[in-house]
């Protein structure tokens, strides 16, 4: 019981919760504005993680700097997807219909390609590096610098995005597109600009999350898929396209996961996550579906 009430466990829950919130934020933004369930989202986390790993081991560039580079790299990928696929879909309605029906399989294909390209280039062995891993103790809670940094960056990006959406004119437009895309267009919101900016931004956030993961955990080319699943759980709990609730749900999942594992054993982590995932989809299919159909 003592361990359950300790600050140690709470800290662990907050660190993973903030990371889940961050990964889910990108997925949610992309879904909200483009109606695209990007199943390759976790692989962007993987790309961010490898970017940080190589920059650190080869050039001793600290992860805080890699954050910017990884974000830029993933944003570039977002631009490529938008230019390569969505421009074409806008031009050809029959292509658009086909892609929508198979979008998930399509992105699963992209995901498989990214994973195996990474495995070819970097081998499948897991890698890691040591950065800020000295233990600091505060009020009886021991924490490593990298975890503290991860918590700080993830929380800052999440809440920064929320503030941007609330107070910046562009953020207003973005929220308008999420809520009523036709109405937003009628009142003069530039859909193309918003969609392009969101896909770049959403991908960039995933890259940032990847850099944070690489500081504390071993990375592999196949690390991404569990993150995709986690992000799906989070945004379905929080409500698709509902950015603020999604961030809250991310922290909640961190709490549930950490305390769930503390009560059972680490071997149950995957069962817990996938169980939640299946349960959430089964319990709320109508609610989820009505939103999907309105698009």
Q: Which residues bind other proteins (CB under 8 A)?
A: 37, 39, 95, 98-99, 101-106, 108-113, 115-117, 119-120, 229, 232, 267-268, 270-271, 274-275, 277-278, 281-282, 285-286, 288-289, 292
- The residue (of 70 and 81) whose beta carbon lies closer to other proteins is 81
- Of 118 and 197, which CB lies nearer to other proteins in the complex structure? 118
- State which H helix or E strand residue 141 sits in: strand 141-144
Please name the residue that has the structure tokens 């504390």: 216
For the bound state, the minimum distance from the C-beta of residue 217 to other proteins, rounded and expressed in Å, comes to 19
- Shortest CB 181 distance to other proteins, Å: 18
Looking at the Cβ atoms of 105 and 135, the one nearer to other proteins is 105
Place of tokens 């569990």: 226
> Residue 138 or residue 289: which is nearer to other proteins going by CB?
289
**Alpha helices per DSSP H over the chain:** 2-5, 7-34, 41-59, 63-81, 87-91, 93-122, 145-167, 169-179, 181-186, 191-216, 224-238, 243-263, 269-283, 285-294
Minimum CB distance to other proteins, residue 180 (Å): 21
Angle at 160 between CA 247 and CA 227, to 5 degrees: 40
Q: How far is the CB of 123 from other proteins (least distance, A)?
A: 10
- Minimum Å gap between C-beta 289 and other proteins is 6
Calpha distance 137→139 (Å, rounded): 7
Q: Comparing C-alpha atoms, which of 17, 34, 32 is closest to residue 249?
A: 17
Smallest separation, CB 25 to other proteins (Å) = 19
Nearer to other proteins, 58 or 105 (CB): 105
Nearer Cβ to other proteins, position 101 or 136?
A: 101
d(CA 291, CA 295): 7
Q: How far is the CB of 71 from other proteins (least distance, A)?
A: 25
State which residue, 141 or 288, has the beta carbon closest to other proteins.
288
Long-range CB contact pairs, 78-86, < 8 A, 24+: 78/199, 78/200, 78/201, 78/202, 78/203, 78/204, 79/196, 79/199, 79/200, 81/199, 81/203, 82/195, 82/196, 82/199, 82/200, 86/34, 86/195, 86/199
């Amino acid at each position: 019981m003592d361990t359950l009430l300790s600050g140690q466990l709470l800290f662990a829950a907050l660190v993973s919760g903030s990371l889940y919130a961050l990964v889910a934020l990108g997925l949610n933004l992309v879904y909200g504005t483009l109606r695209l369930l990007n199943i390759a989202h976790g692989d962007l986390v993987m790309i961010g993680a490898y970017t940080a790993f190589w920059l650190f081991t080869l050039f001793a560039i600290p992860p805080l700097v890699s954050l910017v580079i990884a974000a830029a790299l993933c944003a570039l990928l977002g631009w490529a997807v938008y230019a390569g696929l969505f421009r074409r879909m806008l031009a050809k309605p029959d292509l658009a219909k086909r892609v929508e029906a198979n979008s998930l399989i399509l992105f699963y294909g992209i995901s498989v390609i990214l994973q195996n390209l990474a495995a070819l280039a970097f081998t499948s062995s897991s890698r890691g590096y040591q950065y800020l891993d000295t233990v600091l103790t505060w009020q009886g809670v021991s924490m490593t610098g990298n975890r503290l940094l991860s918590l700080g960056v993830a929380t800052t990006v999440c809440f920064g995005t929320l503030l941007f959406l609330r107070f910046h004119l562009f953020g207003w437009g973005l929220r308008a597109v999420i809520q009523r895309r036709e109405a937003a267009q009628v009142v003069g919101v530039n859909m193309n600009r918003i969609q392009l900016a969101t896909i770049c931004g959403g991908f960039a956030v995933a890259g940032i999350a990847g850099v944070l993961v690489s500081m504390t955990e071993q990375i592999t080319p196949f690390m991404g898929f569990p993150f995709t699943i986690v992000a799906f759980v989070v945004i379905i709990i929080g409500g698709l396209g509902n950015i603020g609730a999604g961030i809250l749900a991310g922290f909640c999942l961190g709490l549930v996961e950490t305390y769930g594992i503390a009560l059972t054993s680490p071997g149950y982590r995957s069962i817990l996550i996938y169980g939640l995932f299946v349960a959430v989809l089964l319990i709320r299919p109508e609610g989820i579906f009505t939103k999907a159909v309105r698009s």
